[in-house]
Amino acid sequence: MNKPTRVLLQFIVACIGIIFIGAIPKLFEVERVFDEEGETATGPLFNFSGYFEGIKDLFGKLMNVSEITYNANGTVRPIFPKIFEPYLYSAEILLGALLIGIVSAIVLTYITMLLHRKIISGFKFVTFVLESLPDILVIVGVQAIIIYIFQKTGVRLFSIAVYRENIYVLPIICLAVLPAVQFYKVLLLIFEEELEEHYVELAKGKGMKKSWILLVHVLRNAGISMFYHSKAILWFMLSNLVILEYFFNLYGITAFLLDYITSEIFTVGLFMIFIPLFIVYTSGEFLIQKLTKREATNL
């Protein structure tokens, strides 16, 4: 199977999986009867026939995606283009946090690798502790610090919680903390492995300083490994985005989906998250393979 066919097959299978996930509520829909004793559920626990009907119905609605609507206080409106506003806001928060997490992890890793081995071991332990912190604790903790500073000094560093007003700095910082720690931990391991490679010994033999080898050679090779690790960290950030939007009263894509949740709106939201990520990572893998192949050819 050639590469384009494999990618197309992966995309189709992933799309089918998303539709199957979107129709899951139909699996648990049971028939209810009302009698003198009140409301009772009848029938089997899992409604498989209803589930497959739900998949068929959902697929039909997605084929006419522009006609999907949501009910806002009794008023029925199309989700497009309304859904783009919270979607783009969440994308800005997510990308800002991802960028800060990557840059801060690279800078910290570079500085750390220039230190003594014992100090590096200490940083690894601190990283382990920070990584174990619950994301809710980070979000609430940062908010508490901002409030404390405001109470003591009267200086409001950032907006904290507002109703449907777009704020950026504090949510991005909160969302970036744990991914930065994860990227930092991964980069430390990658840098240490790269330093054991023969090309590093060769560079040292040519008189290159460690700082230069780390910056030019090791960082470039670590970038490829970091790209593959970033996929798992990005999905971790998406799960944290739900909590972040709740605690900060942000009106992002997850808040929109929760406010107007139906099978078709939830599925559209999943597709809007999945498709850009699929394109980015597929293109990135293709580019890395091309560059790696070109370097191998030049050797």
Tens digits of residue pLDDT in 17-65: 999 999 998 888 766 666 666 666 666 667 888 889 999 999 999 999 9
Token pair, residue 98, equals 């991802």
What separation in angstroms does the CA of 4 have from each of 7, 8, 31, 283? Answer: 5, 6, 45, 11
Residue 126: what are its φ and ψ, rounded to 5°? -60, -40
Q: 250: pLDDT confidence band, cut at 50, 70 and 90?
A: confident
* Alpha-carbon radius of gyration of the chain: 24
Judge contact between 176 and 97, C-beta under 8 A. yes
Q: What is the helix (H) or strand (E) element at residue 138, kind and residue range?
A: helix 135-153
Helix H segments across 23-83? Answer: 24-27, 48-63
pTM: 0.83
Output the average pLDDT for the chain. 85
Closest by Cα among 130, 287, 277, 113 to 187: 113
Residue with the larger pLDDT of the pair 231 and 161: 231
Judge contact between 23 and 263, C-beta under 8 A. yes
Report the pLDDT value the prediction gives residue 144, as an integer from 0 to 100.
Answer: 77
Q: 277: pLDDT confidence band, cut at 50, 70 and 90?
A: very high
Query: Domains along the chain?
Result: 3-78 (no CATH), 92-261 (1.10.3720)
Percent of the chain surpassing pLDDT 90? 34
Judge whether residue 203 has pLDDT over 80: yes
